[in-house]
Chains A and B, each alone.
Chain A
């Protein structure tokens, strides 16, 4: 009998169906992977189980008995724990308080039992001893932690539910290899204890490493559940994307070495700043320079500093042979730089505003416009959106009505109206679906072919290997290795990333 079983679960937000028909069976002692591109309904399904989203229809059974999950509190009581993709942490509370927040140990009903709280939290903190990184402690405020450390807190919080069923919605996106390995050890332990685990990840290697079975969800519908031992990545991707979609080839062929001679468009010499030091490189026009390495080794920090979003403490920059000073993004944009962040919710999307307003701000700035004439804007924006195959109903629709991938396309399109000379891409495909990724990289290669210099940081090695003409591997805030030509292999990338890490 399944530990947790969902059948025919659906959820609509207004006119958009987030989940059409979700079916799922979780057995005791298995890691069950949910597969699906972004916006396919995985997170909605998870949140319905966890009680934070109210389903419109459908049935949930726990140990064979039908239950009504009236909210997150009820879900916990029914034995369901969850790791939220967007995290559910209180920044100003300590790690220990966060871990125990859902069920604060009490004294005589109303007081917090501090000793019990510390003791309980330390059990879960100990699970990640040695890999949690500097500054991680029970007393540390969550707001002071790095992204990966926060994710660890959320994992500990989910584990502390000690629930028979635990959902992990993209728990590894910010974790480094060692942290992931430790996490997987814990998951294996949970399996032996007979818990049912739901696991979501966009990294195929993780899925195959830890999953037992997988359920594929496409366009809000459960397509199929299969045993991971009886399938391969190619089949899974085919199921996720659908039969008649264009498949981006699983194995990228190595791009050409790119332009090798000529004057560099952007020269960076001994650049230092918060999170990186002594970084030097040249980018030629038409070149895609990849930034690789474990996450958080300074790649983003360099890109943001180049864009003027964080301060530079030393070093020099030259653009087309002229010295370049970036005080803030505004001046960087004026000098011909562009920056696209993977964290589009924070850095890119102006939520609640029409698509056209989301696509126009760079145009406003570069043309020093005062008036925003709808017809003139339309003529500027439409071609840029077309270049990315963006799907939208009308320019006046709010950007929130689009899927994540299409939102990111709008954000990128704002840089295509007046073309920049250097494009800084900071993990631009984070959390967007495969089709959108393919569109994006096609565009990036085309832009490079037209002479733009592109700096690409990606947390997915395949994207780097498949697109970059050259790869700089970052480690501890510095460039430790440069991979060119035939050296650009997954092996070399891993090896350089883990050197002395």
Chain B
């Protein structure tokens, strides 16, 4: 370690290197690099059409990650492993409520939000009232949801997405972009406003950073903690509906693929798993980054085994780029 360099050049250099260490910047740089790399490996990878497809997939992940992000920011080892189950369940419920008809979209949205909110509420109550660690509570809830999925799938047919929902997710909606992209942008803006410009947002950071101090300053800690889980459940439900629109009909356990990636997207966005630090803009970039990486690996013609190994190793390398935990010795 050296002393702080006070010269102008050193200052600019330090400022640039500080800037480059910001998670959002890392993610954006990596996205560009990966797009070029993908295009080199398989020409046409970075075409407008392809990028649009990637963004749709990223939006699905990103919407799940929004809820995950809020839970993680709220601290006390906040994490929501049940999002995958909620995504799957929401897709089934949505499909059955709308049953292929546009008129059913609004009731479906409401039903899905209620389902997501309900399971989020259960998670939140378990975590706050019974003080079960979030990892355990949401892990247990995941088991319940997976069992429930089997029950539901036995009892009712797998529903169909309404054409309106499908076109909202896959077809151009405004300025050539599908509705889901606009929805994601809207969520991004709302999340940013919520986290920086509302008392609710400040309180999320407060309970995530120092729960006891927040309590002593009159923050309704329990209510806040329940809220973050409800929000997470609702975002997962929205993502489930969008996923239904993306694939046309629901199939078993579609949501499972989002459980851990939603956490990784949050981490790649620069939000600390310890809570109280981070934001959603980075998470959006993290989701895009993760989706591009997966997409490159599917483009490359290698065996599934090799693809997985490369994916795992790349994730580790990226995590290293994002900076490591604090050293024991300061």
- What is the interface of chain A, defined by CB distance below 8 A to chain B? 10, 12-15, 17, 47, 51-54, 56-57, 71, 307, 309, 328-330, 333-334, 339, 341, 346-353, 357, 360-362, 364-365, 369-374, 414
Contacts and interface: CB of A to CB of B under 8 A. Distances in A.
Nearest to B211: A350
B174 interface: no
B200 A333 contact: no
In the complex, which of the residues A10, A51, A53, A352 has the most CB atoms of chain B within 10 Å of its own CB atom? A352
A13 B330 contact: yes
Given A351-B210, A357-B206, A330 B201 contact: no
A329 B217 contact: yes
Interface in B1-35: 1-4
B199 A351 contact: no
B53 interface: no
B4 A12 contact: yes
A347 B216 contact: yes
Contacts of A370: 198-200
B209 A350 contact: yes
A373 B197 contact: yes
B153 to A, nearest CB: 41
B1 A341 contact: no
Contact of B216 (A47, A54, A329): A329
Nearest to A333: B218
Nearest to B205: A353
24 contacts: A10-B3, A12-B3, A12-B4, A51-B329, A53-B330, A54-B1, A309-B216, A333-B218, A339-B216, A347-B212, A347-B216, A350-B205, A351-B209, A352-B276, A352-B277, A353-B202, A353-B205, A353-B206, A357-B202, A360-B202, A361-B214, A370-B198, A370-B200, A372-B199
A238 to B, nearest CB: 30
Contacts of B4: 12, 14-15, 17
A47 B196 CA distance: 37
Interface residues of B, number: 30
Given A12-B3, A330-B219, 20 more contacts: A17-B4, A51-B329, A52-B329, A56-B1, A56-B2, A56-B3, A71-B329, A330-B220, A333-B218, A350-B209, A350-B210, A351-B210, A353-B209, A361-B202, A361-B219, A365-B218, A365-B219, A369-B199, A370-B200, A371-B198
B321 interface: no
Contacts of A57: 3
Contacts of A373: 197
Interface string B316-330: 000000000000111
Interface string B267-295: 00000000011000000000000000000
B186 interface: no
B205 to A, nearest CB: 6
Given A14-B4, A329-B217, A372-B202, A54 B330 contact: yes
B216 A364 contact: no
Interface of B: 1-4, 196-203, 205-206, 209-210, 212-220, 276-277, 328-330
B72 to A, nearest CB: 14
Nearest to B1: A56
B246 to A, nearest CB: 35
Given A351-B209, A369-B199, A362 B218 contact: yes
B122 to A, nearest CB: 24
Contacts of A10: 3
Nearest to A53: B330
A352 B330 CA distance: 18
A334 B220 CA distance: 13
A357 B197 CA distance: 11
A13 B200 CA distance: 33
A369 B199 CA distance: 7
Given A353-B276, A364-B199, A346 B218 contact: no
Nearest to A357: B202
Nearest to A374: B197
A67 B218 CA distance: 51
A330 B215 CA distance: 8
Contacts of B200: 370
Contacts of B196: 372
B280 to A, nearest CB: 17
A78 to B, nearest CB: 16
A357 B3 contact: no
A364 B220 CA distance: 12
Contact of A371 (B197, B217, B220): B197
- 4 tightest Cβ-Cβ pairs between the two chains A and B: A361-B217, A365-B218, A333-B218, A364-B199
Given A53-B329, A361-B217, A371-B197, A352 B209 contact: yes
A234 to B, nearest CB: 35
Nearest to A414: B217
Contacts of B199: 364, 369-372
Contacts of B212: 346-347
A349 B212 CA distance: 10
Contacts of B210: 346, 349-351
Contacts of A372: 196-199, 201-202
Contacts of A14: 4
Nearest to A16: B4
